[in-house]
Structure 1
Amino acid sequence: MHIILGATGHVGSALAQALLAQNQPVTLVTRDARKTRAQQDKGARVAQVDVFDTAALHRVIQNGTRLFVLNPPAAPSTDTVAEEHRSLRAILAAVEGCKLEKIVAASTYGAQPGEGIGDLSVLYDMEQALAAGPVPLSVQRAAYYMSNWDASLETARNEGKVHSMYPPDFKLPMVAPHDIGEFAARLMLAPPESFGLHHVEGPAAYSSADVAAAFAAALDRPVEAVQTPPAQWEQAFRSMGFSEPAAKSYVAMTRLTLDEAYEPAQAPNRGAISLEAYITALVKKRSG
């Protein structure tokens, strides 16, 4: 039995779909079972459990053989680092004592130790904690999610602008969540390894100018990429509803991404979905 945490998100849903397509037994862990009806129709089991209910989560995990761990992102209005460390501690406590064959953990490019750098340090801590346990671990570090641009559809459509903290010509590896889920399914089904670090990104690196061009093509209107000056980053995050600690950590992550190029030690696994295809599908879906 495959246990999937974060089963109703972009990645978890794609992972569940890929496993169910191969007739694999799947249990989806979610706080809202109503969001899993499509997967239930395809044979998935559902465990309606809050990740902070350690005892209940432990009972679900101990009935599985392989586990996909995705630490849920905290609401930006909170102290995201503190909240994500709290959920991570709950997950680690729930996993303790479970006799699993394998764990696959969702991490990110640039994961590293440090203070005040948001997900980069939280996910690094997750990697280290799971690797120290007795269960064979595969870590999937994913590039920048193309879905991070979903919120830009509104400004692209209404203003002809895509706002970004990065210069319009700054390229970075990106990947569609569907491709992350597809590769996660491959890791879930692969033989256990004592420890494996795997990277996944899309067909190419892209810039915010490329994002603007993709929206322009999909919307059939001019769209330009506009950079938010670094001095305004923190205020820009605050205006989007981020708490002060969250805004500061996101600024730090943005600076690290811009100033320190992350190079995978091994060649990355490449997904098939291009940025253009992703944006076109997004526009079509939101226009339906």
Structure 2
Amino acid sequence: MYIILGATGHVGSAVAETLLSKGEPVTIITRDAGKSEKWKRKGAEVAVADVHDVETMRRVFRTGKRLFLLNPPASPDTDTVAEEKKSLASIIAAVVGSDLEKIVAESTYGAHDGEGVGDLGVLYEMEQKLAETRIPSSIIRGAYYMSNWDWFAETAEKEGKIYSLYPADFCIPMVAPEDLGQFAAQLLTEPIDRTGLYYVEGPETYSPADVANAFSEVLKKPVETVVIPRTEWIPYLTKTGFSQKAAEAMAAMTDVTLDKKFEVSNSPVRGNISLQQYIAQLVSAKG
């Protein structure tokens, strides 16, 4: 049995869908009982559990042998780092004594030790804590999620604009969540002793201007990139619903990316979905 933590998100759902399409037994963990029927219709088992309930989580983990671990992102109107550290501590506590034989965990480009670097520090801590459990684990460091641009599907259509903290011509590695999920599913089904640290990107690097052009092509209307100056990052983020601490964390992570203070691989795993394909699917899904 494969246990999927985070199946209601972009990447986790792709992991579950991929495994189910291959006839593999899957258990989805969700705290929202209302989402159970969708997965049951697809052939999955569903366990309703709160990520902070260590004992319940451990019982669920014991029903399977392999786990896909995605630390749930905290709501941006909270202190995201504090909340994500709490959920991570609960998950790691539940893993201990669970009898799992292999874990595949979703991390990110830029994960590194340090305070004041937002999710990058939390995910680095996850990598280290998993190593301490001595359960064979593979770590996926995914590039910038293309799904981060989902927020701007509405502004692209209604205003002809997308908003970016990065310069319009700043190219960064990006990847579609579906590609990450499919790769994670592959790692889950490999032999126990086949583990490693993997960097995963899309077919090429893209810039915010490329995102605007992709929306423009699909919507058949001009779409421009509005660049938020560095001095305005935190006010802009708080205006859009981020807490002060979450805005500060996002600004810190953006700084890391802009200054390119993160490891990359000379031979990353390459996904197949282009930015243009992703944006076309996004707009189609939103009608």
Quickly name the TM-score band, shorter chain normalised: over 0.9
Report how far residue 263 of structure 1 moved: 3.9
Distance 2:229 2:106 in 1: 31
The one-letter amino acid of 2:27's match is: T
The one-letter amino acid of 1:242's match is: F
1:116: which partner in 2?
Answer: 116
Deviations 1:26-71 (A, max 9, x none): 0000011332433312321000001011110010001210011100
- 2:101/2:135 contact within 8 Å kept: yes
The alignment's C-alpha RMSD in Å is: 1.2
Residue 255, structure 1, aligned to residue 255, structure 2: yes
Distance 2:185 2:224 in 1: 36
Report how far residue 184 of structure 1 moved: 0.5
Moved beyond 6 Å, runs of 4+: none
Distance 1:43 1:205 in 2: 36
Residue 186, structure 1, aligned to residue 186, structure 2: yes
Report how far residue 242 of structure 1 moved: 1.0
The one-letter amino acid of 2:125's match is: D
Residue 139, structure 1, aligned to residue 118, structure 2: no
* Percent identity for Structure 1 against Structure 2: 56
The aligned runs of 1:260-279 (5 Å cut-off) are: 260=260, 262-265=262-265, 267-279=267-279
Report how far residue 241 of structure 1 moved: 1.2
Distance 2:13 2:120 in 1: 23
1:62: which partner in 2?
Answer: 62
Consecutive unaligned residues of structure 1, counting only runs of 5 or more, are: none
1:218: which partner in 2?
Answer: 218
The one-letter amino acid of 2:38's match is: A
The one-letter amino acid of 2:24's match is: Q
The one-letter amino acid of 1:55's match is: E
Distance 1:195 1:29 in 2: 24
Aligned length: 287
The one-letter amino acid of 1:214's match is: A
Distance 1:65 1:137 in 2: 12
Distance 1:27 1:66 in 2: 10
- 2:15/2:185 contact within 8 Å kept: yes
- 1:131/1:195 contact within 8 Å kept: no
Deviations 1:108-164 (A, max 9, x none): 001001111111000000000001112101001100010100111111111111110
Residue 170, structure 1, aligned to residue 170, structure 2: yes
Consecutive unaligned residues of structure 2, counting only runs of 5 or more, are: none
Q: Secondary structure at the match of 1:150?
A: helix
Deviations 1:200-230 (A, max 9, x none): 1111100000000000000000011111000
